[in-house]
Amino acid sequence: MRKIQMVDLQGQFQSIKDRVNTSINEVLDSAAFINGPEVHNFQKELEDYLGVKHVIPCANGTDALQIAMMGLGLEPGDEVITADFTFAATVEVIALLKLTPVLVDVEEDTFNIDIQALEKAITPKTKAIVPVHLFGQCANMDAIMKIAEKHNLYVIEDNAQGIGATYTAPDGSKRKSGTIGHVAATSFFPSKNLGCYGDGGAIFTNDDDLAHIIRGIVNHGMYERYHHDVVGVNSRLDSIQAVVLRAKLPLLDEYNRKRRTSARKYNAALKDVNHVVLPKMVSGCDHICDTCDCHVFHQYTLRITNGKRDALAKHLAEKDIPHGIYYPIPLHKQKAYADERYNEADFPVTNRLVQEVISLPMHTELDDEQIQYITDTIKNFLS
Ligand SMILES: *Cc1c(COP(=O)(O)O)cnc(C)c1O
């Protein structure tokens, strides 16, 4: 059996190697390392793929979130609501901009922001909501957009884990994740579903004015050369990363299909195992089909409900099966983000999830033998 990896990027590289090498050499010959045609072409191709008016490439996903918030003109003291159960980057940029993070609980079956908790957290100071499409499945955007409209709030989608996912609204209409809120941020970190070979990120919006503001912010607040109208940052995607992303974008749906196929195999093998809760599919899907992109499985995450998650993790490590605990500590308990405003009774779900979740190897190169070995090991341990 091939050695099992949590994320395996070599197989993808083999299939795009010639194109990537040729294009990188062209970039080297042209010396257009920054803002060259490759970046521009990638931007256009991603706009077409997503069906969104504006993609603004930048240096990484964390910058993308920060720049989105800067572009909306959020000011110190404004409250921004986000999920307690996400990667720290989401709350980090809120705090960095001196906005007030307001962390709320999530739903136990989808791991995404809890709509009732969200609504309860709204105050007259609330200005924005940051839903995170955690592990590759969209948050309940229909409910979130309705709440935002009612309270006049911005919605900034953290789409770092959701690229390529399709959201189906209750009326049946479909849109790509990251094109529903006022603005969205994504990451092209190598292990993301669409990853480059270094750091990269992008901001998406359908709002022409906001796109214009953001294009200046990523470039030192310049709208005309050496005229700095606003305080900006330096955040760029380089041409070499754009080459990699242009080679991979046409394959993204195929990559996501492979992830879903592996998820379906995991589900089939683990569905009757005691103390294992499989990932829940929303958007009307009760199984993982081949045609629907409602979940792109950035992570395949189980809940182990008998208190033996840590023992299982140790056992998997002994059997050379990598795994991840995403995430081991709720954000409201992290030193940097703890605050006396928070009340433990408001976080029953995240407090439990951090003890129950375990993510299995998930990438485009998993084979049947590996999946069988992983699932047999889990079954034997839990039975
Ligand atoms: C990866 C990630 C980010 C940050 O992206 P970087 O490119 O690493 O800065 C933000 N939010 C979530 C949910 C992520 O998974």
Rounded to the nearest angstrom, the distance between the alpha carbon of 90 and the centre of ligand 1 is 7
User: Above 70 in pLDDT, residue 316?
Assistant: yes
197 pocket-lining for ligand 1 (C-beta < 6 Å): no
Nearest to residue 144, comparing CAs of 103, 108, 175, 115? 115
Rounded to the nearest angstrom, the distance between the alpha carbon of 60 and the centre of ligand 1 is 8
**What's the confidence (pLDDT) of residue 343?**
96
**What's the confidence (pLDDT) of residue 200?**
98
Of the chain, the percentage scoring pLDDT greater than 90 comes to: 94
Cβ(23)–Cβ(246) under 8 Å? yes
User: Above 90 in pLDDT, residue 254?
Assistant: yes
Band of residue 285 on the pLDDT scale cut at 50, 70, 90? low
90 pocket-lining for ligand 1 (C-beta < 6 Å): yes
**What's the confidence (pLDDT) of residue 269?**
97
**What's the confidence (pLDDT) of residue 227?**
94
**What's the confidence (pLDDT) of residue 48?**
98
**Tens digits of per-residue pLDDT, 19-71?**
999 999 999 999 999 989 999 999 999 999 999 999 999 999 999 999 999 99
Sign for the pseudo-dihedral over CA of 183, 141, 79, 235:
negative
187 pocket-lining for ligand 1 (C-beta < 6 Å): yes
Task: Give the residue, out of 82, 86, 87, with the most ligand 1 atoms within 8 A of its beta carbon, to mutate for a pocket test.
Answer: 87
Range 231-255 average pLDDT: 97
**Encoded tokens for 217:** 């912010």
- At 201, phi and psi to the nearest 5? -165, 175
Residues 105, 317: Cα–Cα separation, whole Å = 30
Q: Which CATH architecture has domain 252-382?
A: Alpha-Beta Complex (3.90)
Range 196-215 average pLDDT: 98
- Per-domain residue ranges of the chain: 9-250, 252-382
Range 291-304 average pLDDT: 93
**What's the confidence (pLDDT) of residue 167?**
93
Ligand 1 closest atom vs CA 63: 9
Band of residue 205 on the pLDDT scale cut at 50, 70, 90? very high
143: left (phi over 0), alpha (psi -120 to 50) or beta: alpha
User: Above 80 in pLDDT, residue 291?
Assistant: no
Range 92-104 average pLDDT: 98
Domains 9-250 and 252-382 share a fold: no
Q: What is the pTM of this model?
A: 0.97
**Encoded tokens for 61:** 């996903």
Cβ(103)–Cβ(337) under 8 Å? yes
- Cα–Cα distances in Å, from 271 out to 88, 267, 268, 288? 31, 5, 6, 13
What is the CATH number that goes with domain 9-250? Answer: 3.40.640.10
Question: Helix, strand or coil for residue 320?
Answer: coil
**Encoded tokens for 202:** 């992008």
Q: For helices 89-96 and 61-71, what crossing angle results, to 10°? A: 40
Protein residue with its CA nearest to atom 14 in ligand 1? 160
Question: Helix, strand or coil for residue 183?
Answer: strand
Q: Which residues contact 344 (CB under 8 A, 6 or more apart)?
A: 351
User: Above 80 in pLDDT, residue 6?
Assistant: yes
Range 194-213 average pLDDT: 98
137 pocket-lining for ligand 1 (C-beta < 6 Å): no
User: Above 80 in pLDDT, residue 152?
Assistant: yes
**What's the confidence (pLDDT) of residue 288?**
73
Cβ(154)–Cβ(123) under 8 Å? no
Rounded to the nearest angstrom, the distance between the alpha carbon of 159 and the centre of ligand 1 is 8
Range 6-27 average pLDDT: 96
**What's the confidence (pLDDT) of residue 270?**
97
Taking all residues of the chain, what is their mean pLDDT, rounded to a whole number? 96
Band of residue 281 on the pLDDT scale cut at 50, 70, 90? confident
**C-alpha of 157 from chain center:** 9
Of the chain, the percentage scoring pLDDT greater than 70 comes to: 98
CA terminus-to-terminus distance, the chain = 24
State how beta strands 201-205 and 183-187 pair: antiparallel
Residue 192 annotated in active site: yes
User: Above 90 in pLDDT, residue 108?
Assistant: yes
